[in-house]
Amino acid sequence: MLEVEIKARVASLREVEERLRQRGARYLGEEEQMDAYFAHPCRDFAATDEALRLRRAGGRVTLTYKGRKLDAVTKTREEVSLAVESYQAAREILTKLGFEEVALVKKLRRSYRLGEYLVELDSVAELGSFVEVEKKAEEYSPEELVAFLSSLGIGREAVERRSYLELLLGEGDG
């Protein structure tokens, strides 16, 4: 099962949020997320398009491996997530193994559910406002996600394929 995902930069989250509410989207909540990203001791994640993230949010800590992106438009990747008990211990084990923290992404995320879509409205420190749309799928269709974004008033030109990490580090394929 893949997590099909697309992201777009927007000038204002409020307009998107109003459209979501008009269409009957269900508000799931707001969460502050602190994501530490790590460099691999001997693999260039920027080149392999992978990532390792340790997230603190709502009292939970999650370690997530992200594989390379699977198409040229969306940011669909294979992901493996693991709930862990302690941020400090996880960080220390990673550091002892040679993983180095390279960036910290802080954001406020407001989430909505609209049918099979999870819509996340992100205010990201140092980067600005973004809308992420996700759905679980066996197969993925980039165009379906582009069409859904469009129905929220977000054009294809706003699509941002780079991760927050890449944007912060000034990397990626644009």
Report if residue 59 touches a copy of itself, rule: CB under 8 A. no
Which backbone phi and psi does 99 adopt, to 5 degrees?
-80, 135
Contact 69, 75 (CB under 8 A): yes
Pick the stretch among 82-90, 106-114, 129-137, 156-164 that binds a copy of itself (CB under 8 A). 82-90
Q: Residue holding tokens 């799928």? A: 137
For the chain, counts of helices (H) and of strands (E): 5, 8
Beta carbon nearer to a copy of itself, 82 or 147: 82
Could you say which residues in the range 106-165 bind a copy of itself, by CB under 8 A?
Answer: none
Report if residue 43 touches a copy of itself, rule: CB under 8 A. yes
Which residues, at least 6 apart from 151, have a Cβ–Cβ distance to it below 8 Å? none
Report if residue 41 touches a copy of itself, rule: CB under 8 A. yes
The binding site for a copy of itself (CB under 8 A) comprises 40-43, 50, 52, 63, 65, 67, 80-86, 89-90, 92-93, 96-98
